[in-house]
Amino acid sequence: MRYFITAICFVFLLSCGSSTNEAEVESEQGLTQTEREAIHNQAQPEEYNVVHAQGDDETKKVADHCQAIDKEKVVSRIAFGSCNNQDKEQPLWPSIVGSEPDLWVWLGDNIYMDTEDPELMKKKYAKQIANPGYQRLLKTCPVIGTWDDHDFGVNDGTKEFPAKELSKEHILDFLCIPDSDPVRKREGIYQSHTFGEGDKKVKIILLDARTFRDPVEKSSDKKSYIPNKEADILGEAQWTWFENELKDNDAAITIIANGTQILSKLHPYEKWANFPTARKRLFKTIGTYCPKGAIMLSGDRHHGEICKVKIPKIKHYLYEITSSGLTHTRKYNMEPNKYRISEKTVELNFGMIEIDWEASPVEVSLQIRGKENVIHVQDKLVVTDIFPGTEGK
């Protein structure tokens, strides 16, 4: 299933469907026997390696399975995904590696941990790290990310989950976050990364939508959540941090990522719309600081779609790409969503943001891809079509 938004596509005629033939050939071939053997030999199926450094701070530790992040590198191809069960087949890694990403962003449910037991937490992350396809991604590009409920530790988890501190240590090790990073010291896992230099900067804000999330009640038949205006999703400390991240920001493109779907309102599952006051606050905060090239990312839903919204007084659209899942999807396809501007894909999928920095103005392609790098859903934008800009300016 391929879907192309054509309204502004002519601007990008040359880059439409621009996955390289080379990449497609590679994804068809997948891993060679030699590559599989090499990766298996390096992988540690029972536990991953956390190096405890000696010296002034003996507690300093850095997991060594990830590539170092080069913050000065200009990123043009950002791949992302969610809902990845470590016990299931993971057929998309060859396609993801074949798409030659500069960066991979986990959007949550990175593994299905669902436990309070520290030994099981470690074992389940170790299994994911040892996955041959994921090993190949780790050798291709740096990895950053946030979590959703299953890797937080419990289905639809909230701030009341008792093992969240323990679980935090495991995801930060999985993401190779050093002990010196401020995120190790504060509550929650929210972080930001800025890549590139000058007018080619991309800022990625990774929100933590679990650690501070208030519980929301379900309907009497337990089939849907009842939106609660009093409930918050980020917590005050994270809201203040988020505001400062938008204030202190000279990036050309700002990506705001979290696990929970933000725009879609009509489905009965977890969504920002179950927290209407927090959802409004999110838009108000974004609208106040008008980050350039604002794009929101989410996962969790077991399908892929692109949505957009118009925020009062803001001239341009705010986009959201939902990409889920890497190992399983929900085949039911009928779900109303007035914000959706693409078809909804229920194929296994990952997301891709391609940035053409040489175009003037800069062009951005939002894509949801599947096996063999097939583009299921695509929209193409120029950065001036997304934030900033207030009405009348």
CA distance 210 to 335: 25
Question: Where in 129-158 is the site for Fe ion (CB under 5 A)?
Answer: 148-149
- Rounded to a whole number of angstroms, the minimum distance from the CB of residue 392 to Fe ion is 40
- Rounded to a whole number of angstroms, the minimum distance from the CB of residue 217 to Fe ion is 19
Identity of the residue, 80 or 289, whose beta carbon is nearer to Fe ion in the bound complex = 80
At residue 255, what are phi and psi to the nearest 5 degrees?
-105, 125
Identity of the residue, 148 or 320, whose beta carbon is nearer to Fe ion in the bound complex = 148
Identity of the residue, 84 or 365, whose beta carbon is nearer to Fe ion in the bound complex = 84
Q: Which stretch binds Fe ion (CB under 5 A): 166-174, 210-218, 283-291, 293-301?
A: 293-301
300 near Fe ion (CB under 5 A): yes
User: What token pair was written down for 177?
Assistant: 């976050």
Binding mask 218-237 for Fe ion (x = CB under 5 A): --------------------
- Rounded to a whole number of angstroms, the minimum distance from the CB of residue 378 to Fe ion is 25
Q: Which residues contact 260 (CB under 8 A, 6 or more apart)?
A: 148, 209, 233, 270, 271, 272, 298, 300
Identity of the residue, 26 or 149, whose beta carbon is nearer to Fe ion in the bound complex = 149
Q: Which stretch binds Fe ion (CB under 5 A): 18-26, 170-178, 206-214, 299-307?
A: 299-307
CA distance 106 to 84: 10
Identity of the residue, 164 or 200, whose beta carbon is nearer to Fe ion in the bound complex = 164
Identity of the residue, 12 or 190, whose beta carbon is nearer to Fe ion in the bound complex = 190
- Rounded to a whole number of angstroms, the minimum distance from the CB of residue 93 to Fe ion is 20
Identity of the residue, 149 or 173, whose beta carbon is nearer to Fe ion in the bound complex = 149
Binding mask 54-93 for Fe ion (x = CB under 5 A): ----------------------------------------
At residue 109, what are phi and psi to the nearest 5 degrees?
55, 40
C-alpha 149: how far from its chain's center?
14
Angle between helices 164-174 and 118-129 (to 10 degrees): 20
CA distance 393 to 390: 6
- Rounded to a whole number of angstroms, the minimum distance from the CB of residue 150 to Fe ion is 6
Identity of the residue, 193 or 328, whose beta carbon is nearer to Fe ion in the bound complex = 328
Applying CB under 5 A, what is the total number of residues that bind Fe ion?
Answer: 4
Q: How far apart are the first and last CA of the chain?
A: 39
385 near Fe ion (CB under 5 A): no
- Rounded to a whole number of angstroms, the minimum distance from the CB of residue 207 to Fe ion is 14
Do residues 78 and 352 lie in contact, with contact meaning Cβ atoms separated by under 8 Å? yes
Do residues 80 and 107 lie in contact, with contact meaning Cβ atoms separated by under 8 Å? yes
- Rounded to a whole number of angstroms, the minimum distance from the CB of residue 87 to Fe ion is 16
Residue 309 CB neighbour total at 10 angstroms:
15
Binding mask 166-195 for Fe ion (x = CB under 5 A): ------------------------------
CA atoms within 13 A on the CB side of 166: 15
Question: Where in 338-377 is the site for Fe ion (CB under 5 A)?
Answer: none
Q: Does residue 372 sit in helix, strand or coil?
A: helix
- Rounded to a whole number of angstroms, the minimum distance from the CB of residue 55 to Fe ion is 39
109 near Fe ion (CB under 5 A): yes
Question: Where in 252-271 is the site for Fe ion (CB under 5 A)?
Answer: none
- Rounded to a whole number of angstroms, the minimum distance from the CB of residue 262 to Fe ion is 14
Identity of the residue, 18 or 155, whose beta carbon is nearer to Fe ion in the bound complex = 155
- Rounded to a whole number of angstroms, the minimum distance from the CB of residue 365 to Fe ion is 26
CB crowding 345-371: b at 16 or more within 10 Å, else e: bbbbbbbbbbbbbeeeebbbbbbbbbb
Amino acid at 229: K
Residue 10 CB neighbour total at 10 angstroms:
9
Q: Does residue 236 sit in helix, strand or coil?
A: helix
Identity of the residue, 109 or 363, whose beta carbon is nearer to Fe ion in the bound complex = 109
- Rounded to a whole number of angstroms, the minimum distance from the CB of residue 123 to Fe ion is 21
Do residues 232 and 282 lie in contact, with contact meaning Cβ atoms separated by under 8 Å? no
User: What token pair was written down for 375?
Assistant: 């583009």
Do residues 127 and 119 lie in contact, with contact meaning Cβ atoms separated by under 8 Å? no
Identity of the residue, 203 or 210, whose beta carbon is nearer to Fe ion in the bound complex = 210
CA distance 173 to 31: 26
Positions in the binding site for Fe ion (CB under 5 A): 109, 148-149, 300
